Amino acid sequence: MRKIDRLFEIVQLLRGQRLRTAEFISKKLGVSVRTVYRDIHGLIASGVPIEGERGIGYVIRQSIELPPLHFTPLELQAIQLGINIVKAVADHDVAAAAKEVALKIQDALPTKDRGKTYAPIAHIYFESDAKTRDVLAKLRGALDEKNKVEIRYINEVKKKPSRTLRPLGLEYWGKVWTLTAWCELRNDFRVFRVDRIKSCEITGDVFKNETGKTYRDYLANFSECTFD
Amino acid sequence: MRKIDRLFEIVQLLRGQRLRTAEFISKKLGVSVRTVYRDIHGLIASGVPIEGERGIGYVIRQSIELPPLHFTPLELQAIQLGINIVKAVADHDVAAAAKEVALKIQDALPTKDRGKTYAPIAHIYFESDAKTRDVLAKLRGALDEKNKVEIRYINEVKKKPSRTLRPLGLEYWGKVWTLTAWCELRNDFRVFRVDRIKSCEITGDVFKNETGKTYRDYLANFSECTFD
DNA sequence: ACACTACTGACAAAAGGTGTCAGTAGTGCT
DNA sequence: AGCACTACTGACACCTTTTGTCAGTAGTGT
């Protein structure tokens, strides 16, 4: 096995699982532990974000380049097109990420292909308003962290009990964003239009995936959903 | 200079310019020509799409991995979101490319993050109709190849002379696609709604960039455009 | 105190990379 | 047809790097 291939393999091994010891890697690749240390040292020197801790093992920080991830020019066009739309549609954080992507791709493109793609996607049509974006950002955060949220719709009667939700997914339907959630009040799935949400509080409660209450379960029974 | 770095450098050199000879590379990197041949052989063995022709030199097929192109998880989410929209909006080829991108990213993602992102973008709202997609694909091809085209709008009087256009750019406005072109009949820029194009023929004529007639020129004087 | 692990240094043996040279074979130009 | 240019291959001696072994240091968690 060539050294170069081995280096790729190490990255691969670290990417797949959470934690790996040098000994594990050495056995997997059929080299000595010392060599693994040397290889990893080299990888780090080349900018691969591997981190080691004594007594623990190695991890690779997520964000690392998806391995040899090739894109054809057409695929890049598709990404750029999508990214341009996303810049206008999504909440602030995702829009910023989209901008980053656009820059990275632009940098990587051979000069002659730059700006050739569907460049100026107008924002007129897509633009979400600022409030919606804020709520979106909040919900996305809650979704990532599995935090329960309490929301209130606009025009909702005040005395109505606020509902506690487990946010499961955000969908973009071209005109509006919707939040799909497990509603603890109704004990069922509910879908909410994000632009109609007046207030949104993160309760701090963390929920776990329970059978029958996950996004996957929702998707499996799509037809039965109820629009709130 | 380590061998690995040299290999990256070779890819970099080939990516930047059109054509490079082994001798050029060898001088640039300070190694013998023989070594360059060996390195390139190794790169090809590792799947890098480099092609050599005797008497000519080396080129790298476009499509090759943008160099160490890192994306953060958030950036990947942005791409996935965009890609999902593109699948519904764009013409067949680009949509297929978008599908490919989605798969590649899915594969590269650590398992725990899969399907967490805004997965099911509904196609209801965006869907372009089949005919528009066909015209789009044709126009995109013509644009890439700098082929002149002749188009007819729907509801256009037959005896009107068909116009010869130099396609310059395609824009997606959220609801409709437009083609920006240099109209040889009017001798000016014109913008056409793709969904209103009845027929579209590629004439076979190839045009060159002329000062005052390029997409860039158009963009510079955006306000003065005329909608046809 | 102990097990586990990351890390470092040194050294000899093994492996692999390198330059030189010599030669073959396509491309495109004159 | 001849020529210049270039990619490509094989062989061989030299040199550089990599590798495994061994021995030791230093953090983490039990």
Q: Considering only CB atoms, which chain B residues are within 8 Å of A221?
A: none
B25-66 per-position pLDDT tens digit: 899 888 889 999 999 988 888 777 788 888 888 988 754 444
d(CA B43, CA B34): 14
A28-84 per-position pLDDT tens digit: 888 989 999 999 988 888 777 788 888 888 988 764 444 445 676 677 777 877 887
Question: What is the number of helices (H) and of strands (E) in chain A?
Answer: 7, 7
Give the residue extent of every domain in chain A.
3-60, 73-113, 130-224
Q: Considering only CB atoms, which chain B residues are within 8 Å of A70?
A: 63-65, 104
Residue-level pLDDT at A34: 92
The residues close to strand D, meaning Cβ under 7 A, are A 3, 6, 30-35, 38-39, 53-56; B 2-3, 20-23, 33-34, 37, 40-41, 52-58
d(CA A95, CA A93): 5
**Nearest CA to A40 among A79, A77, A8?**
A8
Paired strand residues for B206 = B147
d(CA A79, CA A60): 26
Tokens for B55, please give them: 């008497």
Tokens for A2, please give them: 């060539």
| Closest residue on chain B to A219 (Cα) | B120
> Which residue spans within B4-146 are E strands per DSSP?
50-53, 57-60
ipTM of the complex model: 0.49
What does B110-167 look like in DSSP terms, one character per residue? -GGGTTTSS----STTT---HHHHHHHHHHHHHHHHTEEEEEEETT--TTSPPEEEEE
Q: Cα dist. A93→A98, A187, A217, B78 in Å?
A: 9, 31, 28, 9
Q: Is the CB of A112 under 7 A from strand C?
A: no
Contact by Cβ (8 Å): A104, B66 = yes
With distances taken from each CA to the C1' atom of nucleotide C27, the closest residue turns out to be B55
A130-224: in CATH 2.30.30: yes
- Determine whether the interchain pair B82/A86 forms a contact, defined as Cβ–Cβ distance below 8 Å: yes
A168-199 per-position pLDDT tens digit: 877 766 566 778 888 888 888 888 888 888 88
Tokens for B129, please give them: 């109709």
Residue-level pLDDT at B176: 66
Q: Closest approach of chain B CAs to the CA of A39, in angstroms?
A: 12
Tokens for B130, please give them: 């089949």
- Our measurement of CA A20 to C1' D15, in angstroms, reads 36
Most trustworthy range by pLDDT among A9-13, A54-58, A152-156, B7-11:
A54-58
Q: Which of B69, B75, B119 sits opposite A97 (nearest CB)?
A: B75
Average pLDDT for chain B: 75
pLDDT band for B220, please (50, 70, 90 cuts): low
d(CA B179, CA B195): 10
Task: Give the nucleotide nearest to A2 (CA→C1').
Answer: C16
Q: Which of A12, A46, A101, A121 to probe the B interface (max B CBs under 10 A)?
A: A101
- Measured from the Cβ of residue A125, the count of other Cβ atoms closer than 10 Å reads 16
**Nearest CA to A119 among B216, B193, B146?**
B216
Q: Which of B12, B40, B118, B214 to probe the A interface (max A CBs under 10 A)?
A: B118
CATH number of B3-60: 1.10.10.10
> Which residue spans within A62-213 are E strands per DSSP?
147-153, 163-172, 177-183, 188-193, 197-206
Residue-level pLDDT at A185: 83
B76-126 per-position pLDDT tens digit: 777 877 887 777 666 667 778 888 787 777 666 555 454 444 444 443 345
Residue-level pLDDT at A175: 60
What does A45-81 look like in DSSP terms, one character per residue? HTT--EEEETTTEEEE-TT---TT----HHHHHHHHH
A85-105 per-position pLDDT tens digit: 777 666 667 777 788 777 777
Tokens for B180, please give them: 């920006």
Asked whether residue A152 carries a pLDDT value surpassing 70, the answer given is yes
Most trustworthy range by pLDDT among A122-136, B89-103, B170-184, B196-210:
B196-210
